[in-house]
Amino acid sequence: MVCLTFCVVSKRFRKNYIHRFTATKSWFIFSPWNCLRQRCIYLSTNQYFDYFVMTTILLNCVFLAMSETNEEAEYIFLAVYTWEMVVKSIAKGFILNKYTYLRNPWNWLDFVVITSGYATIGMEVGNLAGLRTFRVLRALKTVSIMPGLKTIINALLHSFKQLAEVMTLTIFCLMVFALFALQVYMGELRNKCVRHQEPNDTQIDWFEWTWNSSNWAFNEAEEPIICGNVTGARLVFLYLADVQSYFR
């Protein structure tokens, strides 16, 4: 099946850029000669449209970095992103033909971020509140706007495919050393923090003293503090004040 297309050449970040559109009706309504679609094509290919969207993304990142969430600002940003998606989908078409909005993988992230934003409006309970973390992905919208970033990301993705065998070999070598250390040191790093024995008390054997659980130091969860590994040794300093007061 032959799909008719047309191209629009415009300036984008001081370089000529070719935009390709399908000649079929977008949304089954707007033909290429439709006045509204022509205006949307003009907007989506205008470099100042990209500048406006990038400025919005930067402002959104500033608001995301704040400790308190400004819901009114989030609604404004979501409305701007929705307007951008509507303009591009009217200009290109949504999904049915080639060169439409969702046929471009770079727009998939934008669509997921926008739809998840609407799913979290007014939702404060349950797992739906966790969908608010998708707001952080809005910063990645800059990749779909700047052609230079697209080139870099594409190069990285292609390099991952070529480095798959090297990464597999590296993981295999790490697994060998990990299994070796597990077999050699398994169960050895179990030393616990024990209070000091009285210097004048020579009637109690040191082995019995250290293995007596009443002489161990415990944390708030009633678990003995482990001193036999790096992680447990770091926690000793956090519990030092409590341990000293406990042993007095």
Task: Tell me the percentage of the chain whose pLDDT exceeds 90.
Answer: 22
- Tell me if 122 is assigned to some domain: yes
Highest mean pLDDT among 121-130, 173-182, 226-235: 173-182
* The pLDDT value given to residue 122: 57
138 and 192 in a single domain? The answer is: no
CATH code for position 41: 1.20.120.350
Residue indicated by tokens 């100042």: 48
137 and 202 in a single domain? The answer is: no
38 and 139 in a single domain? The answer is: yes
User: Between these two residues, 62 and 248, which has the higher pLDDT value?
Assistant: 62
Count of the separate structural domains present in the chain: 2
85 and 195 in a single domain? The answer is: no
Reported as a single tens digit per residue, the pLDDT across 175-209 is: 999 888 888 777 665 677 777 767 666 667 767 77
Listed as own residue / partner, the contacts of 54-61 with beta carbons closer than 8 Å and 24 or more positions apart are 54/142, 54/145, 54/146, 56/80, 56/81, 57/138, 57/139, 57/141, 57/142, 60/138, 60/139, 61/138, 61/139
141 and 191 in a single domain? The answer is: no
Reported as a single tens digit per residue, the pLDDT across 136-178 is: 777 777 777 777 787 888 888 788 877 888 888 999 999 999 8
* The pLDDT value given to residue 137: 75
Q: Which residues contact 101 (CB under 8 A, 6 or more apart)?
A: 85, 88, 89, 92, 93, 94, 95, 107, 111
Per the DSSP assignment, residues forming a β-bridge with 9 are: 18
- Tell me if 150 is assigned to some domain: no
88 and 207 in a single domain? The answer is: no
Highest mean pLDDT among 122-126, 127-131, 207-211: 207-211
The residue range of the domain holding 194 is: 187-247
